[in-house]
Amino acid sequence: MHEMGIAEELVKITMDAIPEDIADPKVEILNLRIGKLASVVEHSLTFCFEIITKDTPLENARLVIETIPVKIRCKVCRREWEVDDPMFKCPDCKEGEVEMISGREIDITSMELADE
Ligand SMILES: [Zn+2]
């Protein structure tokens, strides 16, 4: 399950980001941006996250996931558009010279720590 690897990565990054001078930190919310093409199953990720955060500062943290649409840009006329599935032809100039500019990212945008 590739969500487990992602969950582990998220925990690692978050733990590194928690300021060291906070005693007994507790993360309440983790805000994420996940591209549609990153093929992350949200409930699998939440499930894995809950398992591996037991007895860590991230235990019971809530994952708030913003889904990022797939965006394509035409290399010829610079037109940008959103698609549900990658479509590799520009609707304007019909060129096939396109690049994907978003849709695969998995980013942590912010975290919220509980007040003591
Ligand atoms: Zn074009």
How high is the pLDDT of residue 96?
Answer: 84
Element (H, E) at 35: strand 27-35
Residue 98 Cα to ligand 1 middle (Å): 8
Distance CA 38, CA 68 (A): 10
Residue 102 Cα to ligand 1 middle (Å): 17
Q: What is the pTM of this model?
A: 0.83
Residue 97 Cα to ligand 1 middle (Å): 8
Ordered by start, the domain boundaries in the chain are: 2-18+27-69+102-113
Q: What is the pLDDT of residues 41-57, one digit of tens each?
A: 999 999 999 999 999 99
CATH of 2-18+27-69+102-113, one of 3.30.420.10, 3.30.2320.50, 3.60.10.10, 3.30.420.250: 3.30.2320.50
- The neighbourhood of ligand 1, an ion, using CB within 5 A, equals 74, 76-77, 79, 90, 92-93
pLDDT band of residue 91 (cuts 50, 70, 90) is: confident
Helix residue ranges, H only, 1-116: 2-17, 42-52
CB 9 within 8 A of CB 2: no
Distance CA 62, CA 65 (A): 9
Residue type, 39: S
